[in-house]
Amino acid sequence: MNLIEQLKGKLIVSCQALEDEPLHGSKYMAKMALAAKVGGAAGIRANGVSDVREIKQMTGLPVIGIIKKVYQDSEVYITPTLSEVKDLLETKAEIIALDATLRKRPNGEKLAALISYIKQNSQAYVMGDISTFEEGLEAINLGVDLLSTTLSGYTQMTRHIHGPNFSLLESLVKLNKVPVIAEGQISTPSQAVEALQRGAQAVVVGTAITRPQVITEQFVNAIKALT
C-alpha cells in the first residue's frame, strides 16, 4: 500500500507558525506535531526546511512539505520556484505541495517544470494546491499525483468563498483522476467528516488545531459581542 492509500480517510494536521507568531520555531512546531500524532493524526503539513526536518525526526509521520516565500513579481507564495523545490527535496518530505493556480509564478517559472523536476529527482509525491476546478484540471494534465483545495478562498477569484469549498471538492472527486485532499477553512470535526463523506482522500486541518492565538481571538470576539 502506497502512502496516499495509507492516508485515506485520515486526518493530516498543518503545523505552521510564521515569523510574527508566538510559536514560530522548529522546536515548537515539532512539539505541536508530536501532540497531533498523540491525538491520532496520520500526517503533518509543515512549512520550511528546518520545520520539516524537526517534525520528521520527532514524529516519524509522513510530511507534506512546503516553503512559503513572497516574491515581488507574483502572488504565488507556496513553493513558488525551483529554488524552494530543491530545498524541500533535501528534507526527504514524502509529499511536496506547491501552488498550482493559474497565476504567474515568480521569474516567469512554469509549474510544469517544477513538477517534472520533482519527479525526475526524487520519489516524492507532488500535490497541487488549487482554488478552482479549472486549476485542478490543468494540474492533473501537468502530472500532479494529488490535489488539495487549499487555496479556495485565498485567490482573487475565490475570495468571496467562506468556509470549506465542498462543491469544488466534489467536482474534482467526480473526475476520478487523482486523489483530492480537503484543506482550507475546515474548522470543526463535523466539517472534516463531511469532507470525507463527499469523497476527500484525507483532510488537512491547521488553524483550528495549531494556532492558539487565532482560536483565542475567536472566543474573545464572541464574548465582546455580548457587550
Where does 3-224 sit in CATH, by number? 3.20.20.70
d(CA 180, CA 49): 25
Strands (E) in the chain, as ranges, are: 10-15, 43-47, 63-66, 95-99, 125-129, 146-148, 180-183, 202-205
Mean pLDDT of 167-188: 97
Residue-wise pLDDT for 87-118, tens only, equals 999 999 999 999 999 999 999 999 999 999 99
Residue 63 has pLDDT above 90, yes or no: yes
d(CA 87, CA 85): 5
Q: Which residues contact 87 (CB under 8 A, 6 or more apart)?
A: 49, 67
pLDDT confidence tier of residue 119, bands split at 50, 70 and 90: very high
